């Protein structure tokens, strides 16, 4: 049951997961409100939701049309829902409160278009909107969603799923640790930790860390930048902390953290112009783009790709895909597998013609080669999960870098193998061994084995498997199965690396 549930979330975009998370909190708060268990009256909550979402959507459509850029409706909905759960719900009779909600919503969405540096957002939109409303004394944020213990299970469990999805546990832990340390250091003398714990669990830090630090467009990429970002925000969110006359609320702490993220983040927003589309295997294609500027990245990292789309589905117009090209290649390659009944994003991708443009940014990922070139490696790929290994191996070829590496590549049928020219060249020049397997071919061609990547195959083709660092990439079910196989063989978890693969195959 748990595995099926996690599989469902693997197939869900981060944006959709946040919508579900915030929606679940609001639904629970609405029900609990009838019993007086949350500081939100149900009628006021429903009215505030309609007002904030409506203002956000109108503002979003206006600015998207004015700036002629791809718009993400889910991102706008998330911003609106955050404002609803952070600001006090109001009724139609409360004109001042109504104005505060509307202003916060409009400012938040407008900031996505008006406050940009190096092609990226600067501030978390919801945090900026509610901070401006508070500064102008229209209506400050109350963070009412965190003021009751009854919503804590949803905040924590949903937050853990989001953190698992975006793989930023280190950022979340850093923020919570810095907050707790600050609370202990500023507590009155003689206060015991167990006396602080109940209040810490009912504070804004958990929601702030789970729901807002993970916002990808205003957080830094890279593990250590993420940790530093979490430490800055958590420390500044310490209760009662002031800088001069300014009382540091959680939203101000996050905005300060956003400025820190801007200072430490490299320029990463790209405009990519389609140069060609190359078929690399059955129903698999490389989209070859000319970038607006050179992209500095490590082989195996991914980008968030944004398409302008007229027809949308529930998955939105953004996807995370590995950069298939190697750092030494002048063009940027995106390797994509098309399935029956593709998503709206994939249909829009299929309609692209040479000269069309796509936006990309948010370079990230730790699925990269180790710095020690003497380390023995094992690459295990399923289907289109081969793309990071194409980048790594082409990089090794370009540099003439001989590493002890074995590639296991499994597909449904032999016609689905991609980039065989690169792997054959690596075999000739670098001694790379590639083991091909097909699951459904009754009579596989020469050099291809029938079956799946299992313990028997790994032991037979790689006798020194105990000495190797394993990299696994592919659809989530394949990754889970192979990781389980390796753990069953006795491979410790720190020698198994898995790719960030959101599983959006449609």
Residues 218 and 153 in one domain: yes
Burial class (CB in 10 A: 0-12, 13-18, 19+), 299: buried
Residue 506's pLDDT is 43
* φ, ψ for residue 357, nearest 5 deg: -120, 155
In a domain, 108, yes or no: yes
470 and 400 in a common domain = yes
The domain boundary, picked from 310, 338, 364, lies at 364
| CATH code assigned at 128 | 1.10.3430
pLDDT over 90 at 396, yes or no = yes
Q: Per the structure block, which two tokens stand in for 377?
A: 């490696």
Phi (first) and psi of residue 279, to 5 degrees: -80, 125
Banded pLDDT at 398 (limits 50, 70, 90):
very high
If you search the block for the tokens 């109940």, which residue do you land on?
198
Q: Which of 25, 83, 91, 30 is nearest to 59 (CA)?
A: 83
252 and 285 together in one domain = no
**295 and 198 inside one domain:** no
Region 287-312 average pLDDT: 86
Bridge partners for 116 per DSSP: 121
Same domain assignment for residues 221 and 288: no
Q: Say whether pLDDT at 504 is over 60.
A: no
Q: Is the pLDDT of residue 400 over 80?
A: yes
In a domain, 335, yes or no: yes
As a whole number of angstroms, the distance between CA 471 and CA 375 comes to 13
Q: What's the structural domain count of the chain?
A: 3
The answer to whether residue 372 sits within a structural domain is no
DSSP assignment of 138-169, as one string?
A: S--B--GGGS-GGGHHHHHHHHHHHHHHHT-H
DSSP secondary structure code for residue 446 in this structure? T
35 burial type by CB count under 10 A (0-12 exposed, 13-18 middle, 19+ buried): exposed
| Closest by CA position to 254, among listed 191, 196, 179 | 179
Query: What is the mean predicted confidence (pLDDT) over 153-176?
Result: 89
pLDDT for residue 203: 73
Between 477 and 268, residue with greater pLDDT: 477
pLDDT band, residue 501 (cuts 50/70/90): low
pLDDT of 194: 66
Answer yes or no: do 346 and 494 share one domain: no
Residue where a domain stops, chosen among 310, 343, 364: 364
Percent of the chain with pLDDT over 70: 90
Mean pLDDT to the nearest integer, 250-267:
87
Residue 502 has pLDDT above 50, yes or no: no
| 63 lies in the same domain as 7 | yes
Question: What distance in Å separates the CA atoms of residue 489 and residue 451, rounded to the nearest whole number?
Answer: 18
Count Cβ atoms below 10 Å from residue 455 Cβ, excluding itself: 15
Crossing angle of helices 193-201 and 169-186, rounded to 10°: 130
Range with top average pLDDT, 57-66, 236-245, 311-320, 481-490: 481-490
Position 370 in a domain: no
Print burial letters for 95-123: b (CB count within 10 Å at least 16), e (below 16). Answer: eebbebbbbbbbbbbbbbbeeeeeebbbb
Same domain, 307 and 244: no
Q: What is the pLDDT of residue 14?
A: 78
User: Are residues 256 and 402 both part of a single domain?
Assistant: no
Distances (CA, A) of 4 to 9, 272, 339, 502: 9, 37, 22, 15
Structural domain containing residue 397? 377-498
| pLDDT band at residue 193 under the 50/70/90 scheme | low
Structure tokens at 97: 């409160």
Q: What is the pLDDT of residue 503?
A: 40
Structural domain includes residue 412: yes
In a domain, 371, yes or no: no
Average pLDDT over residues 286-306: 91
Each residue's pLDDT tens digit, 229-251: 999 999 999 888 888 777 889 99
Give, in degrees to the nearest 5, the angle at Cα 413 between 396 and 331.
Answer: 35
Residues 114 and 245 in one domain: yes
């Amino acid at each position: 049951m748990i595995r099926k549930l996690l599989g469902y979330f693997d197939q869900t975009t981060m944006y959709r997961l946040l919508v579900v998370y915030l929606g679940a909190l609001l639904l629970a708060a609405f029900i609990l409100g009838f019993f007086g268990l949350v500081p939100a009256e149900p009628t006021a909550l429903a009215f505030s939701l309609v007002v904030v979402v409506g203002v956000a959507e109108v503002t979003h459509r206006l600015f998207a049309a004015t700036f002629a850029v791809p718009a993400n409706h889910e991102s706008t909905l998330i911003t609106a829902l955050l404002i609803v759960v952070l600001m006090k719900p109001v009724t139609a009779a409360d004109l001042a409160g109504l104005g505060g909600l509307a202003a916060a919503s409009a400012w938040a969405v407008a900031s996505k278009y008006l406050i940009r540096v190096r092609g990226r957002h600067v501030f978390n939109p919801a945090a900026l909107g509610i901070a401006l409303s508070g500064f102008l004394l229209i209506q400050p944020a109350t963070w009412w969603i965190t003021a009751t213990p009854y919503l804590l299970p949803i905040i924590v469990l949903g937050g853990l799923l989001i953190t698992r999805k975006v793989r930023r546990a280190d950022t979340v832990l850093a923020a919570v640790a810095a907050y707790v340390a600050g609370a202990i250091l500023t507590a009155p003398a003689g206060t015991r930790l167990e006396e602080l714990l109940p209040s810490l669990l009912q504070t804004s830090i958990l929601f702030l860390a789970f729901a807002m630090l993970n916002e990808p467009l205003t957080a830094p990429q890279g593990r250590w930048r993420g940790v530093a970002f979490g430490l800055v925000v958590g420390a500044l969110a310490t209760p009662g902390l002031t800088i001069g006359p300014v009382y540091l609320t959680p939203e101000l702490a996050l905005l300060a953290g956003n400025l820190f993220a801007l200072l430490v983040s490299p320029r990463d927003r790209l405009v990519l112009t389609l140069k060609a589309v190359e078929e690399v295997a059955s129903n698999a294609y490389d989209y070859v783009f000319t970038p607006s500027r050179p992209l500095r990245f490590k082989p195996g990292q991914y980008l968030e790709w944004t398409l302008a789309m007229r027809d949308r589905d529930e998955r939105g117009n953004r996807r995370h895909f590995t950069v298939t090209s190697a750092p030494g290649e002048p063009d940027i390659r995106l390797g994509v597998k098309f399935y029956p009944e593709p998503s709206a994003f994939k249909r829009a991708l299929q309609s692209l013609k040479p000269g069309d443009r796509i936006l990309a940014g948010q370079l990230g990922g730790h699925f990269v080669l180790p710095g020690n070139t003497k380390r023995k490696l094992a690459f295990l790929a399923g289907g289109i999960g081969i793309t990071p290994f194409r980048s790594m191996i082409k990089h090794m070829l370009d540099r003439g870098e001989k590493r002890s590496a074995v590639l296991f590549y499994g597909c449904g049928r032999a016609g689905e193998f991609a980039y065989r020219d690169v792997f054959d060249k690596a075999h000739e020049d670098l001694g790379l061994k590639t083991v091909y397997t097909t699951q459904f071919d009754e009579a596989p061609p020469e050099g291809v084995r029938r079956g799946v990547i299992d313990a028997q195959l790994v032991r037979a083709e790689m006798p020194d498997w105990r000495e190797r660092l394993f990299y696994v990439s592919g659809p989530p079910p394949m990754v889970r199965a192979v990781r389980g196989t390796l753990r069953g063989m006795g491979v410790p978890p720190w020698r198994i690396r898995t790719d960030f693969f959101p599983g959006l195959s449609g």
